[in-house]
């Protein structure tokens, strides 16, 4: 077994679909997922877990019912569990999500944007 770093650019080059997180690694019961986003997502929440957004490229706005936060490349934000939110990116944005294994991208809501879970690249 060799030791090899995970290259975000190489992993991101393997897919083009948006709003469909891809798992790149696991640590204990947590997964690190890369996702390309553009446009509006849907309002949703995760009742049982916080959700970490790390912007690798571009800009991401996370809207809340009472405000919003905009993240640029190299910034991160933790959405607390149970807080309804709606991500938005004006142009394509690459982000890494950190969340427990089994978390569905649309939370408890089912929608056309609900992605297949636990897809590895």
Give the bridge partners for 72, in sequence order.
59
> How far from 50 is each of 3, 10, 15, 20, 120, CA to CA, in Å?
30, 27, 26, 19, 21
3-state secondary structure of 8: helix
At residue 111, the pLDDT reads 62
Rounded to 10 degrees, what is the CA torsion of 60, 108, 42, 32? 30
Q: Provide the sign of the torsion angle of the four alpha carbons 47, 80, 5, 115, taken in this order.
A: positive
Strands 30-40 and 85-100: antiparallel
Please list the pLDDT of the chain residue by residue as tens digits (121 residues).
Answer: 789 999 999 999 999 999 999 999 999 999 999 999 999 999 999 999 999 999 999 999 999 999 999 999 999 999 999 999 999 999 999 999 999 998 766 666 666 766 677 788 9
pTM: 0.90
Contact between 55 and 71 under an 8 Å Cβ cutoff? The reply is: yes
Which domains are delineated in the chain? 17-100 (2.60.120.10)
């Amino acid at each position: 077994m060799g030791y090899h770093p995970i290259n975000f650019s190489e992993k991101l080059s393997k897919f083009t679909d948006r709003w469909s997180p891809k798992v790149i690694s696991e640590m204990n019961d947590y997964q690190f997922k890369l996702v390309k986003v553009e446009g509006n997502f849907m309002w949703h929440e995760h009742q049982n877990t916080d959700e970490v957004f790390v912007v690798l490229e571009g800009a991401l706005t996370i809207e809340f019912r009472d405000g919003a936060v905009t993240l640029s490349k190299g910034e991160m934000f933790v959405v607390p569990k149970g807080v309804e939110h709606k991500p938005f990116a004006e142009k394509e944005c690459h982000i890494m999500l950190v969340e427990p294994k089994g978390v569905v991208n649309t939370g408890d809501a089912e929608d056309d944007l609900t992605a297949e879970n636990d897809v590895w690249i």
